[in-house]
Amino acid sequence: MNDLSNSLAAADIAHSIHPYTNMRAHEVQGPMIIARGEGIYVYDTNGKQYIEGMAGLWSVAVGFSEQRLVDAATKQMQELPYYHIFAHKAHEPQIRLAEKLAEMTPAHLTKCFFTNSGSEANDTVVKMVWYMNNALGRPEKKKFLARNKGYHGITVASGSLTGLAGNHRDFDLPAIPVTHLTAPHFWRYGLEGESEAEFTARLLKECEDTILAEGPETIGAFIGEPVMGAGGVMVPPEGYWPGIAALCKKYDILLVADEVINGFGRLGTAFGCEKYGFEPDILVLSKQITSSYMPLAAIMVTDEVYGAIADNTAKLGSFGHGYTGSGHPVATAVGLENIKIIEERDLIGNAARLEEQFQTGLRQYADHPLVGEVRGVGLIAGIELVADKATKKSFEPAGMMAAKASAFCTEEGLIARSVYETLALCPPLIVTEDDVAEIILRMGRGLDRTYEWAKAEGLV
């Protein structure tokens, strides 16, 4: 490490608290410090180049050096660097982005509320559902249905919706009324001898049985990611989402599509609800909305949801909720330009065109000694590692092998994220055929090095 790297690392260890990090291990290991980005690549303070195979955190659609986004932010900073949208105030970037989102999302979603992050957005969804049902004289209709392995954020409410034990332990979560159903992951949770269709039917029955046991009059909403991301890239079986949507309609339960990861082309369609053929009442967006150049999230709702909330604001005199940065002019200006780039360069089409190469190329590693399953859709994929292919038994301690594989991939110049037992990939939407081929090669080298290490350690 050079002198700059050493001094920055020392300062980081001395003063920074990192999310999703073993803090004591960080004190010993120190940070990997990223200095700059260019296209699909990032560079550390020692000058080493990496393919950012996770697009940062599932989010940088247009790459790490898009000058148009820099220019959009600079222009807006010069004209109106900040203003709020409380109490009838507005500004053009916020108005235009809300208009654009209403245009490009499914037609029944007409109204937009801005937050700074997906966590804040899902936290707001909880409050909206409660507020709406109080307004409609249904104060008992407050419970949520979510899924194990689902990820919806880390605030008290959104963290409760999340179905990951690591996000609950010692945080006293869940702290709101939520029931977590079986994750729709056939390979891991299908029963012996059960077909995929039978698995889907079982999960839909579980959902309906839960609704009836809890009482439909007590359940406000079902929330789910069309393709689950941070829980391990889990692709739903055929018929799952139309079945869930039908149950929500049958029992008057709002359906919330959390598209923080799926949205804006990741799956090869504009939105995941379109990919899987269902119509949500509420759609949650973030990450690729600005390629994460600025913090921004959006909640799209139907006229029916809006109407119930709006009527109550007339009764009470105000909607007592919002953020200082809601609809921030710089963030929304960047979001507008980012969406223009996605559309002009047909990055949604690019994800669809490269899907076969990306998914088929990664699936060659299904035969690797450490790999249990390779799964994904569009330009998102997960490679789950197992200690025993026949039984699908995971390595112990949980997450150890995937973390080691991620470290070896990083040494090979590919940043992939370890998610429990899974290596996740979610590259920028600007990738080319050559980029995809290189990602696949580097992943293979990382897996091979992990296997050699595991053999040397007597783990396989």
Residue 11 lies in a domain: no
What's the whole-number mean pLDDT along residues 195-222?
98
Residues 315 and 248 in one domain: yes
Q: pTM here?
A: 0.96
Q: Which of 344, 367, 386 is the last residue of a domain?
A: 344
Q: Which of 304, 328, 344 is the last residue of a domain?
A: 344
Residue 12 lies in a domain: no
What's the whole-number mean pLDDT along residues 24-34?
95
Residues 336 and 243 in one domain: yes
Q: State the Cα–Cα distance between residues 74 and 48, nearest whole angstrom.
A: 29
Percent of residues, the chain, with pLDDT higher than 70: 100
Residue 321 lies in a domain: yes
Residue 231 lies in a domain: yes
Residues 48 and 78 in one domain: no
Q: State the Cα–Cα distance between residues 102 and 191, nearest whole angstrom.
A: 41
What's the whole-number mean pLDDT along residues 252-277?
98
Please give the pLDDT value at position 4: 78
| pLDDT at position 202 over 80 | yes
Residues whose CB is less than 8 angstroms from the CB of residue 252 and which lie 6 or more positions away in sequence, other chains included: 216
Residues 57 and 206 in one domain: no
Residue 107 lies in a domain: yes
Residue 15 lies in a domain: no
What's the whole-number mean pLDDT along residues 148-158?
98
Residues 276 and 354 in one domain: no
Residues 354 and 403 in one domain: yes
Residues 389 and 406 in one domain: yes
Please give the pLDDT value at position 136: 97
Please give the pLDDT value at position 66: 98
Please give the pLDDT value at position 348: 98
Token pair recorded at residue 90: 């507005």
Q: State the Cα–Cα distance between residues 383 and 375, nearest whole angstrom.
A: 7
CATH number for the domain spanning 437: value is 3.90.1150.10
- Domain hosting 90: range is 68-344
Average pLDDT in the chain: 97
Residue 24 lies in a domain: no
Residues 339 and 211 in one domain: yes
Structural domain count, the chain = 2
Residues whose CB is less than 8 angstroms from the CB of residue 268 and which lie 6 or more positions away in sequence, other chains included: 275, 348, 351, 352, 355, 377, 378, 379
Torsion over CA: 297, 68, 351, 373 (sign): negative
| pLDDT at position 458 over 90 | yes
What's the whole-number mean pLDDT along residues 365-379?
98
Please give the pLDDT value at position 183: 98
Q: Which of 344, 361, 376 is the last residue of a domain?
A: 344
Residues 126 and 40 in one domain: no
15 neighbors 25 (Cβ within 8 angstroms)? no
Count Cβ atoms within 10 A of the Cβ of residue 30 and give its class: 0-12 exposed, 13-18 middle, 19 or more buried: middle
Token pair recorded at residue 393: 């038994």
152 neighbors 164 (Cβ within 8 angstroms)? no
Residues 166 and 307 in one domain: yes
Per-residue confidence band for 272, with pLDDT thresholds at 50, 70 and 90:
very high
Residues 335 and 394 in one domain: no
Please give the pLDDT value at position 2: 86
What's the whole-number mean pLDDT along residues 169-196?
98
Residues whose CB is less than 8 angstroms from the CB of residue 287 and which lie 6 or more positions away in sequence, other chains included: 57, 58, 59, 118, 260, 261, 263, 264
- For the chain, the first-to-last Cα distance in angstroms comes to 33
Question: Tell me, what amino acid is at 23?
Answer: M
| pLDDT at position 1 over 80 | no
What's the whole-number mean pLDDT along residues 252-266?
98
118 neighbors 351 (Cβ within 8 angstroms)? no
Please give the pLDDT value at position 191: 97
Please give the pLDDT value at position 201: 98
The 10s digit of each residue's pLDDT in 71-84 is 999 999 999 999 99
Residue 17 lies in a domain: no
CATH number for the domain spanning 196: value is 3.40.640.10
Please give the pLDDT value at position 397: 92
Per-residue confidence band for 423, with pLDDT thresholds at 50, 70 and 90:
very high
The 10s digit of each residue's pLDDT in 116-138 is 999 999 999 999 999 999 999 99
Per-residue confidence band for 310, with pLDDT thresholds at 50, 70 and 90:
very high
Residues 266 and 332 in one domain: yes
Please give the pLDDT value at position 5: 85
Please give the pLDDT value at position 3: 84
Q: Which helix (H) or strand (E) holds 423?
A: strand 422-425
